[in-house]
């Protein structure tokens, strides 16, 4: 059963507010509503007239939000939209010109603690892992359809799992007998390759679960697709803030911001510019911001968070 109230603690909340600097006549987009913590802070800081459009692929998160923000929805200050930020441009009203946009990517603690969703290796559940349970194949279906090599690539690339090949091989052996359908099946497979040592801080299945989740939700390609659409939805002087939790995601954000801040993105081998690209962004965080020791002490999830912000020119 999903929790009635959110258990998610928003990451880098003060830093997000500092960069977005909400004002009372502003429009803000929260592309990853989750538990609604950032949305709540944006609504408060932009009171009495500021507006927020919040998006999430997960209907359960939005239903929780509908109960939490009854008044703000009724007065038109908050609009909740169901959809994938991969298609942000078509989800938002035409000609949206927002003062700020936030992407706080990955999964929420609400999803992790919902035993039925299959994100957590600690609880027995169907191996699903989709942010939107009606979109695309589940983790169990992926493990049925993909080749041993494709599974190994996913575990190695998204989970940095050194034993990716051995785990993939064991998955394929297992599924020859019966399909991998539950979190318990996958934990059994991983621990048969990497037995759990009592001195280990991280459970051996952590990397495998993370990698599969990223693959199931196409998280890297969704981010790549969303960034230019987010920029298009900003007014001049509006800011984009992205919080990521994985080095591959942070690299996508960093390289995209760097390119959008340049007047030419031709490869160095091209002597005269042929791309015609003009800078549309000014990067405002020289280095990514990370959580303070104080924040990580009450929210360990914040440890891997990196925040980058930029301003539309």
Ligand X SMILES: C[S@@+](CC[C@H](N)C(=O)[O-])C[C@H]1O[C@@H](n2cnc3c(N)ncnc32)[C@H](O)[C@@H]1O
Interacting residue ranges for ligand X, rule: CB under 6 A: 8, 10, 32, 34-38, 55-58, 61, 84-86, 104-108, 131, 222
Nearer to ligand X, 105 or 190 (CB): 105
Helix (H, G, I), strand (E, B) or coil at 150: helix
Nearest to 233 by CA among 57, 92, 62: 92
Nearer to ligand X, 199 or 294 (CB): 294
Nearest to 32 by CA among 217, 156, 297, 252: 217
Nearer to ligand X, 121 or 131 (CB): 131
Helix (H, G, I), strand (E, B) or coil at 126: strand
Q: Tell the smallest beta-carbon distance from residue 264 to ligand X (Å).
A: 30
Q: Tell the smallest beta-carbon distance from residue 165 to ligand X (Å).
A: 28
Residues, the chain = 313
Residue number of the CB closest to ligand X reads 34
Taken in order 153, 159, 163, 169, the sign of the CA dihedral is negative
Nearer to ligand X, 82 or 262 (CB): 82
Q: Tell the smallest beta-carbon distance from residue 228 to ligand X (Å).
A: 14
Nearer to ligand X, 20 or 55 (CB): 55
Nearest to 187 by CA among 162, 150, 212, 165: 212
| Nearest-5° Cα angle at 235, 233 to 108 | 45
Q: Tell the smallest beta-carbon distance from residue 32 to ligand X (Å).
A: 3
Q: Tell the smallest beta-carbon distance from residue 42 to ligand X (Å).
A: 10
Structure tokens at 76: 């038109």
Structure tokens at 185: 């099946």
């Amino acid at each position: 059963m999903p929790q009635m109230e959110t258990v998610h603690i928003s990451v880098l909340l003060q830093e997000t507010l500092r960069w977005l600097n909400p004002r009372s006549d502003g429009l803000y987009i929260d592309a990853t509503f989750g538990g609604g913590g950032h949305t709540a802070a944006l609504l408060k800081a932009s009171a009495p007239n500021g507006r927020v459009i919040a998006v999430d692929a997960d209907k359960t998160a939005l239903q929780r939000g509908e109960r939490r923000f009854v008044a703000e929805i009724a007065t038109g200050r908050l609009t909740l939209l169901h959809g994938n930020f991969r298609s942000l441009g078509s989800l938002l009203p035409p000609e949206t010109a927002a003062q700020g946009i936030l992407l706080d990517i990955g999964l929420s603690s609400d999803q992790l603690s919902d035993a039925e969703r299959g994100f957590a290796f600690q609880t027995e559940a169907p191996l699903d892992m989709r942010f939107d349970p009606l979109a695309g194949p589940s983790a169990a279906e992926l493990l049925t359809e993909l080749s041993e090599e494709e599974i190994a690539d996913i575990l190695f690339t998204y989970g940095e799992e050194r034993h990716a090949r051995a785990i993939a091989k064991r998955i394929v052996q297992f599924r020859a007998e019966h399909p991998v359908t539950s979190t318990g099946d996958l934990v059994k497979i991983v621990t048969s390759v990497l037995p759990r040592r009592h001195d280990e801080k991280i459970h051996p299945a952590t990397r495998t679960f993370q990698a599969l989740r990223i693959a199931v939700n196409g998280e890297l390609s969704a981010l790549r697709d969303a960034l230019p659409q987010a920029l298009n939805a900003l007014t001049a002087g509006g800011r984009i803030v992205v919080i990521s939790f994985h080095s591959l995601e942070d690299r996508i954000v960093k390289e995209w911001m760097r390119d959008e801040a340049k007047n030419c993105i031709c490869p160095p081998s091209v002597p005269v510019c042929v791309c015609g690209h003009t800078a549309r962004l000014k990067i405002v965080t020289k280095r990514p911001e990370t959580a303070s020791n104080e924040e990580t002490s009450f929210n360990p999830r914040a440890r891997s968070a990196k925040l980058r912000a930029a301003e539309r020119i």
